[in-house]
Structure 1
Amino acid sequence: MAIKFYKETNFKDLENTSREIGINKIPKEWGVKRLNEVSNIMMGQSPPSSAYNNRGGGLPFIQGSRDFGDMYPSITTFTTICNKKAPKGSILFSVRAPVGDVNIADRELCIGRGIAAIFPTNTLLNSSYLYYYLVYMAPTIKRQSSGTTFESIKKSDLEYLPIPLPPLEEQKSIADVLSTIDREIENINNLIEKTEKLKKNLMNLLLYGKIRIKKENNIYRFYKETNFKDLGNVSIEIGINKIPKEWEVKKLKDIVIKAKMGGTPSRNISEYWNGDIPFIKAQDITKTGKYSYQTEEYITEYGLKNSNAWIIPKDSLLLSAYGSIGFLKINKIPIATNQQIIGIIPKEEIVDIEFLYYWYLYFQPFWNKFIKTTTLPHLTQEIILDSPVPVPPLEEQKSIADVLSTIDRKIDLLKRKKELIIEVKKWFMKKLLTGEIRIKILENDNKQ
């Protein structure tokens, strides 16, 4: 069976209903019903906590949307007492903060008070179509939520929600198109997960010298290392007890020209801000991507001189030392930082900046051993400067960084592809669920 898309030209106005759902018109042959006219809506009720277990006893239990996955919930809790059972295939809608998340019950579930289960009661409504309609309408429903501290919606907010109803076969076709896009997104997610796992495994092998790289005639040759030396006490710090004999382990302070925390000019003095010097904060470091090409804020030369900020030359390493500890960027422009970031200028004749980036990316979990736990968890400048760095021959460092950068580029490409497909899905949802674009089912594949 094939389908054909075509643009609808024959509409009817929704009048008052349009204000509720943000849809002004639908195709003339479509109907409109309130959600409670075509479905049952069951609000969850939490059983006593004494009935909970994680051993698989009783029914799977979900309290709220924290258990939601991309489409189906991930079950970690079970309950031997259940007040509200959601049938398999019902649509799960989050009614307490965060309002509007949507999943599908892939089995019979017990639902807590943060969830509503919705399931069609007649042949006017297809369950998969309902799922995608609620996903599309979630932002609109969320705007109806009440409560300043803890947002929530009432059962009546769902009951009186208008739902446009195409012919049942068209509902199924709409759901099929959108689920096809979802499967492609899932495939890309799986590829991203596998590639990130490959990267992590390669980092372990390459950064510790278990697998070595030689570049010959622009071709990388990998081989297994057999000649190691023990690291003694250093092994506790970096999680491995040996490295190749020709490698060294050095403290960061011995392989840098300069490493120093930054500072923030007073925000009460306007002359310090909106100048020409890029200024980066710790929260900017946590954003995705290896490189920093621009910043949201800029300071003046006057602000620089009247603070502890300093200009870090391009192709240095920026490492967050407060709050979100261990996040990294390589700055591709001269830049100043706040006091929560240490700027690191490596000695190029000893260490490659890209290799150093990947080492500290892999080292990030080990910082937990050194964190100072005051009001805001942090690393001192001294701790960072004393941290150990394996130092292979410089050419091997560059080869290791090249291999890992190639994998990063593949991951970035997959993520961009995923973002594009998500935008395509949003476009199709808007056009198909409002009837701007219609679907016609063709009798056989030979028809155009």
Structure 2
Amino acid sequence: MSLEWKTVELKSITNITMGQSPKSEFYNDSFEGMPFLQGNKTFGDKYPSFELYTTSTKKVAKESSVLMSVRAPVGDLNIAKEDICIGRGVCGIQMKEGNNEFLYYLLKANISHLINKESGTVFGSINKKDIETFEITLPKDFKDQMKILNILKNIDKKIEVCKDLNKNLEQLSQNLFRKWFIDFDLKNDFNMSEPFKESNLGEIPESWEIKTIGDLSDVKGRIGWRGYTTNDLVDEGPWVVGGKEITSGFIDFNSAKHLTREKYDESPEIMLRDKDLIIAKTGTIGPIAMYYEIYGEATLNPNVGLIRSKNIAPALLLTFFKTPRAQYYLNEFTTSSVQPAINQTTIKQLEVALPSDKQLLNKIGAKFEEINLLQFNLNEVTKKLQRLRDTLLPKLMSGEIDVSKINCDLIITSHYLSARFPVIQHLFIKSYNLTSRLSDTAINV
């Protein structure tokens, strides 16, 4: 028998608390009271960080409540991990009877319809009545709701594991860079130990040398008079990427645009090649990512620069640019306070100490290439899982996929996902092994 569904107004199955900011005397930044969440910041799928705490308990979203932004923007959703005082622009929604995690996915599947209710000429918003009277369809049987929840929850768990592994691999690469290129501790890993000498970067091993980014790579950007207008942006064609596409060390092509073939062909010097680095050089300075040829043809917009490695592993160069010293340098030498920017000449002058022994440099570079390949693969798995979840969500919440005929408990769901994405298990094992093998100072993942 297929699922039985019911359509109800949201107020009939939930308690809704609209946020209201407490008076200023109740705020503090010393972690007293409970965290305060204001609705003027997008929090989305990423759990919010709290800068302010409050001793006010006037408007509270209880632990496990669904948090929803109701003003500029409308529709961000999350689940409260603790009791939270909510300010204007946020509401807390809690099931009267049922599971709040299921409510989260239910709202996520229907959020576009709720957003359609927003009003306001400057800032879009929805009010409590909009939320209370919002009609929503869900399975009548609580067990069927849990079957749907288990499928979606397990996919999100695997997404989080992939993201956590990637963060830990990123930390691993930074730890190894610090060990080998700042502390110059290479004795155990590469059987290398030698006296030090003075340099303009401080003490470095005697056989090492100072190189600039200009020595190690070609640095290019879009030539000003070859800029483009919105008329050059099309629905299909080569990608054009900018700073906003650099997200967590990767290029997010979901927000990238396409450029006409004519405009793309006009600038062959910035046509991207496999393992080119893309660095933001206007606005927010310093975010950097690696481009891979599987993404297809791509070029740059004027806000980013291209760094093409000549005689050093691209992943090692990428890791160096992410270090605190490199990021400090990039932001220290910006040319404008209104619209911060750094030019290509300044990027080329950034210095780094490297071993003059090319064989040693290649061995070290290979370690960073291995970590980077794992990170890339994990990121691709994450995107596949996200697409799977986003495809299943509306189908499960509309009854298009009938879960009444299958046993969707956690174990079976996990087995299904492992079969669907066997590379996940392989990457988990490989990332653990890599961490323990590379260095005794590496962190656990």
* TM-score (normalised: structure 2): 0.73
**1:196-275, aligned counterparts within 5 Å?**
196-208=170-182, 210-212=184-186, 222-223=189-190, 225-232=192-199, 234-235=200-201, 241-253=202-214, 262-265=222-225
Q: Partner of 1:63 in structure 2?
A: 38
Alignment of 1:22-421 (within 5 A): 29-64=4-39, 66=41, 68=43, 70=45, 74-121=49-96, 123=97, 125-165=98-138, 166-208=140-182, 210-212=184-186, 222-223=189-190, 225-232=192-199, 234-235=200-201, 241-253=202-214, 262-265=222-225, 282-283=242-243, 286=246, 289=250, 296-297=258-259, 311=269, 319-326=279-286, 327=288, 348=311, 355-362=316-323, 363-392=326-355, 393-421=357-385
Structure 1: distance between partners of 2:229 and 2:66:
54
Indicate the SS of the match to 1:32: strand
Moved more, 322-331 or 36-45: 322-331
CA–CA distance in structure 2, aligned partners of residues 178 and 55 of structure 1 = 37
Deviates more, 1:356-365 or 1:242-251: 356-365
Question: By how many angstroms is 1:116 displaced?
Answer: 1.3
Q: The residue matched to 2:172 in structure 1 has which SS?
A: helix
Measure, in 1, the Cα distance between the counterparts of 2:395 and 2:38. 34
Asked if the contact 1:328–1:361 (Cα under 8 Å) also holds between the matched residues in 2, the reply is no
Cα displacement (A) at 1:375: 3.1
- The secondary structure found in structure 1 opposite 2:143 is helix
1:249 aligns to what SS in structure 2?
strand
Tell me how far apart the structure 1 counterparts of residues 264 and 116 of structure 2 sit (CA, whole Å): 45
Tell me if the contact between 1:318 and 1:331 (Cα under 8 Å) persists in the aligned partners. no
Deviation at 1:347, TM superposition (A): 6.0
Q: 1:265·1:303 contact (CA, 8 Å) conserved in 2?
A: no
In 2, distance between residues paired with 1:383 and 1:32? 61
For the residues of structure 2 that align with 1:179 and 1:78, how far apart are their CA atoms? 30
1:235-279: CA deviations, max 9, x gaps?
2xxxxx3322111003445566x7565414466999x999xx989
CA distance in 1, matches of 2:46, 2:241: 35
Structure 2 counterpart of 1:109, one-letter code? I
Is the radius of gyration larger for structure 1 or structure 2?
1
Q: 2:390 aligns with which of 399, 414, 426?
A: 426
Q: Quick one: distance in 2 between partners of 1:279 and 1:431?
A: 31
Q: CA deviation at 1:354?
A: 5.6
Deviations 1:99-140 (A, max 9, x none): 11222233333211111122233x4x4433222201211222
Supply the distance in 1 between the matched residues of 2:297 and 2:155 (Cα, whole angstroms).
42
The unaligned stretches of length 5 or more in structure 2 are 411-445
Letter paired with 1:120: M
Distance (whole Å) between structure 1 residues aligned to residue 369 and residue 102 of structure 2:
42
**1:224 positional shift:** 6.2
Q: Superposition RMSD on alpha carbons, in Å?
A: 4.2
Task: Report the CA distance shift for 1:38/1:273 in structure 2 as closer, same or farther (over 3 A).
Answer: closer
Which residue does the alignment assign to 2:424?
none
Q: TM-score, normalised by structure 1?
A: 0.72
SS in 2 for 1:311: helix
Taking a change above 3 Å as real, the CA distance of residues 310 and 53 of structure 1, as seen in their structure-2 partners, is same
Contact 1:318 1:329 in 2 (8 A): yes
Q: Which one has the bigger strand percentage?
A: 1
Say which structure is richer in helix: 2
* Distance in 2 of aligned mates of 1:335 and 1:173: 42
Distance 1:430 1:297 in 2: 32
Aligned-pair CA distance for 1:383: 2.5
Q: Report the AA paired with residue 51 of structure 1.
A: F
Instruction: Provide Cα deviations, 1:195-224, integer angstroms capped at 9, x if missing partner.
Output: 1111221222334472449xxxxxxx8236
Q: Percent identity?
A: 28
Q: Letter of the 1:223 partner, please give it.
A: F
Taking the aligned partners of 1:194 and 1:32, their CA distance within structure 2 comes to 44
Bigger shift: 317-326 or 192-201? Answer: 317-326
CA separation of 1:67/1:267 partners in 2, compared to 1, >3 Å: closer, same or farther?
A: closer
Specify the code of the residue in structure 2 equivalent to 1:175: L
Report the 3-state secondary structure (helix = DSSP H, G, I; strand = E; otherwise coil) of the residue aligned with 2:190.
strand
- Gap change, CA 1:142 and 1:358, over 3 Å in 2: same
Following superposition, the deviation at residue 45 of structure 1 comes to 0.9
> How far did residue 94 of structure 1 move?
1.3
Return 5+ residue gaps in structure 1 as ranges.
1-5, 9-26, 214-220, 236-240
